Amino acid sequence: MDRNKAIELIKAKTLGCLTKDEETEFKEYIENSEDFPWDVLGEYQNLTSMLPILLKLEIPDSELKDNVARKLYKIIEELKAKQQAEVTPVPETETVEAEPELETKQEEEKALPEEPVKFSIDDGSSLSEPDLSPVSSENALDLPLAEQDVEEKSGKEKVEKIIDEKLERQRTIEYIDTHHKEEMAVLEGASKRNKLFSIILFVISLILLGVVYFLLSSEISSNREEIEKLKIGFDGSHTILQDENLI
């Protein structure tokens, strides 16, 4: 393949528009060619990657970051569970089978990240896991071996469970603290505003009640005065009529 043809293929490749046949041709060319123009490929890979910078920037929702963190955390937890399930068969002899088990675990750890991904969550590295290695025979109490194993296992399980619960609680607190700080501040602000608003409403209600009471009482007293006047008028007319023997 001549250089010009190769460069044409490179251009189409970096734009991602090679046909299937051309893709195969391109792969074969890379594998078999000693003078493949890698510099040209790099140049056009960089060039086409600059195109998106011309687009009008769109910002993803802030919740998406939490979703990514949750997704990663879930994947890691699943992988951990898988690892634990694979490790569960207890070797009959401690010394002979311990090494290969460690090796496979180390290999898996390379492929699968051990540390949970929490994004903004502090990784809680201060809470290191306790040493749960089996008790050596020198330190073991004078219990039968089977009983020791059962106690060790249940003890380990309890400790692991407690640590898991504590870690989970701490993670949740830290998660809320880091991810929802702003929302909490807004909510607190809103709650303060609501309290203030309630107090103002209460005071206004009191004032309104006072005004209504004042208006009603003045109305009542004016009505009373009116009644008194009418009574006096009525009494006067009654006496006159009596004096004139009309009633």
- Interface with another protein: number of residues (CB under 8 A): 52
Pick 56 or 144: Cβ nearer another protein: 56
Cα 57 from chain centre: 25
Whose structure tokens read 């107090």?
199
Quote the tokens at residue 66.
Answer: 């939490």
Q: For the chain, what is the radius of gyration of the CA atoms?
A: 43
Quote the tokens at residue 211.
Answer: 């005004």
The enclosing H or E element of 157 equals: helix 145-179
CB of 1 to another protein, least distance (A): 15
* 113 near another protein, judged by CB under 8 A: yes
Quote the tokens at residue 43.
Answer: 């140049």
**Per-residue string for binding with another protein, 132-171, x by CB under 8 A?**
----------------------------------------
**Per-residue string for binding with another protein, 39-78, x by CB under 8 A?**
x-xxxxxxxxxxxxxxxxxxxxx--xx-xxx-xx--x---
CB of 170 to another protein, least distance (A): 16
- Dist CA 247 CA 241 (whole Å): 6
- Dist CA 124 CA 106 (whole Å): 22
* 104 near another protein, judged by CB under 8 A: no
What residues make contact with another protein under the rule CB under 8 A?
A: 7-8, 11-12, 14-19, 22, 38-39, 41-61, 64-65, 67-69, 71-72, 75, 112-120, 123
